[in-house]
A and B are shown apart, each in its own frame.
Chain A
Amino acid sequence: QSALTQPRSVSGSPGQSVTISCTGTSSDVGGYKYISWYQHHPGKAPKLMIYGVSNRPSGVPDRFSGSKSGNTASLTISGLQAEDEADYYCYSYAGSYTWVFGGGTKLTVL
């Protein structure tokens, strides 16, 4: 149950796009379509942004998109806005009713 690998930090200017990667193994990310992404502002509850690799819950802007290739999932945020600055976590099913999070990525909007 090792944490999935995410970059510790990414940054971009308002209006730009950034992509956050999430690398696992064939036993988690590569083996299932159950990949989701969460936005976490310190002191608040995390918020679901993407589920099932690429689906957005109601109310999440279409600037947020997800994809997967092999053992790596990705979250892309286009048209960066100041309020997007937060920590982002990927999360994958790992079989036998166990799950694993990524280590988290701090997004800074310059």
Chain B
Amino acid sequence: QVQLVESGGGVVQPGGSLRLSCAASGFTFSSCGMHWVRQAPGKGLEWVTFIQSTGGNDHSADSVKGRFTISRDISKNTLYLQMNSLRAEDTAVYYCVKDKHGDFSLDYWGQGTLVTVSS
């Protein structure tokens, strides 16, 4: 079955960097677009960034553009999120999510990893 397992969350100081990983299994990772979605404490879901199955350019929300970079390693079936210049408002649970091909919905979600930006 499809599994998405995030790792790499933790506490980081403002201005710092962190890299999240998402190990994917149970589907053809190289054929699927992938997203990161986050939820700040007490807030709603926020789409963060997307990478197409072919890789190439990433696409990001204005709130993280220029600071966050999504990438993928097909040989390791792993999705990454490199987060730089972190701010307090980036504190959230980050979910790795599979894009459902053909209709742009989100059909499988990981359990999430918590990132806390605090001094």
Contacts and interface: CB of A to CB of B under 8 A. Distances in A.
Interface stretch (A13-21, A72-80, A90-98): A90-98
A42 to B, nearest CB: 10
Contacts of A30: none
A91 B50 CA distance: 14
Contacts of B50: 97-99
Given A45-B112, A99-B104, A3 B59 contact: no
B52 to A, nearest CB: 7
Q: Which range contains the number of B residues in contact with the other chain?
A: 20 to 34
* Secondary structure of the B contact surface, majority rule: strand
B105 A91 contact: yes
Interface residues of A, number: 29
Contacts of A103: 44
Interface of A: 1, 3, 33-34, 36, 38, 40, 44-48, 51-52, 55, 57, 87, 89, 91, 93, 96-104
